[in-house]
Amino acid sequence: MALAIICSGGDAPGMNPAIKKFVDYVYKRGETPYFIYDGLEGMIDGKIKYAHHEDVAGILHNGGAIIGSSRSKRFYEKRYREQAYRNLQDHDIDGVVVLGGDGSYNAFEVLGREFPVNFVGIPTTIDNDIYGTEYCLGVDTALNVIRWAVDNIRDTASTFKRAFVVETMGRECGYLAAVTGLSSGAEICVIPEMNFNKNVAAHFLKKDLAEGRGYILAIVAEGTKMTQNIKEWLEEDIGVETRVTVLGHIQRGGNPTVHDRMMAFEFTVRAVDLLLANTGIRKAISYRNGEFVPMDISEVNNGKYTIPANILRDLHFLD
């Protein structure tokens, strides 16, 4: 069988380890590996090439994806989806491993309904916001990049007795901000999933400052669109000089952690095994309760991710 791997949407640390394992494992199984370059756009344009061992030598430690990625407006049109399908047929590709988030999953679900395309998705997004899985490839590295940045910011915040507002990525999901807020000991954490009570927070912050607190650290999820609002509140109401740091795309880069590398291996092996064992398969691999579980792609796409209850519980002081 000929199998291909594609990266779609935003990049995430762990893509390269998954790509390397894909090539090595497909060869080990006696099958033929292909790369689809530049995501959905590349699939439409026929950027599909045979993968060699030397293509993946020495890439485990690199962030990003050696085969590129993209988002595609053209893929919304059926004629381009058909063109993508024909390109897969031209290479006799029997199945595709998809590294991506909910946008990628939705794109392949549509493609699979229209054409006989077999695929298995691996949840790959630093947002960690895919339904049915506790863990998405790349989130551990992103959290450690944020942890490094926040620890450094704390050093200067304590030196100058300032407040710092740190904005994390996550679109409408506050997972990165919530875990960062808890693990950094931040005084403030603002996420879309919870209401931020300024009155309650102000009471405790003013009390702490009166008793000698030297600085304030606030973590704000980008999806709240409250970064500037929190800065102004800290300065005008709390009375602390405040700086803002928007971490931005630094969160997507960096050397994948050991955990992300090992998880990439396990996700990929299971995805390849599913494709080799089945036809007419349109699944995603999820990780929950310590196990890797295949789920129908429609179930994943129709579900809504929620932050684990224990994380929200530990943020209860912000109610």
| pLDDT tens for each residue of 152-190 | 999 999 898 899 999 999 989 999 999 999 999 999 999
Report the distance separating Cα 289 and Cα 292, nearest Å: 9
Residue 281 lies in a domain: yes
pLDDT at 316: 66
Residue 317 lies in a domain: no
Q: Same domain for 110 and 203?
A: no
Point out which residues pair with 243 in neighbouring strands. Answer: 164
Q: Same domain for 118 and 170?
A: no
Residue 276 lies in a domain: yes
Q: Which of 40-49, 103-112, 308-317 has the least mean pLDDT?
A: 308-317
Q: What is the 3-state secondary structure (H, E, C) of the chain?
A: CEEEEEECCCCCCCHHHHHHHHHHHHHHCCCEEEEECCHHHHHHHCCEEECCHHHHCCCCCCCCCCCCCCCCCHHHCHHHHHHHHHHHHHCCEEEEEEEECHHHHHHHHHHHHHCCCCEEEEEECCCCCCCCCCCCECHHHHHHHHHHHHHHHHHHHHHHCCEEEEEECCCCCCHHHHHHHHHHCCCEEECCCCCCCHHHHHHHHHHHHHCCCCCEEEEEEHHHCCHHHHHHHHHHHHCCCEEEEECHHHHHCCCCCHHHHHHHHHHHHHHHHHHHHCCCCEEEEEEECCEEEEEEHHHHHHCCCCCCHHHHHHCHHHC
Count up the domains in the chain and report the number: 2
Among 47, 113, 102, 108, smallest CA distance to 75 is for 108
Q: Same domain for 48 and 168?
A: no
Residue 316 lies in a domain: no
CATH number of the domain within which 57 lies: 3.40.50.450
Condensed to tens digits (0 to 9), the pLDDT of residues 265-316 reads: 999 999 999 999 988 899 999 999 999 999 999 999 999 999 999 999 998 6
Mean pLDDT value across the chain: 95
Residue 313 lies in a domain: no
Q: Which of 72-76, 81-85, 247-251, 276-280 has the least mean pLDDT?
A: 276-280
Q: Same domain for 72 and 219?
A: no
Catalytic residue among 38, 102, 127, 260: 127
Q: Same domain for 93 and 184?
A: no
Give residue 235's domain range.
140-252
Concerning whether 155 is annotated as a catalytic residue, the answer is no
Q: Same domain for 109 and 159?
A: no
Q: Give first-to-last CA distance, the chain, whole Å.
A: 54
Q: Same domain for 7 and 120?
A: yes
pLDDT at 117: 96
Q: Same domain for 162 and 114?
A: no
pLDDT at 318: 45
Residue with tokens 């999901």: 173
Residue 314 lies in a domain: no
pLDDT at 309: 93
Q: Any residues with CB less than 8 A from the CB of 310 and at least 6 apart, and which?
A: none
CATH number of the domain within which 231 lies: 3.40.50.460
Q: Same domain for 86 and 228?
A: no
Q: Same domain for 123 and 6?
A: yes
Condensed to tens digits (0 to 9), the pLDDT of residues 112-133 reads: 999 999 999 999 999 999 999 9
pLDDT at 315: 87
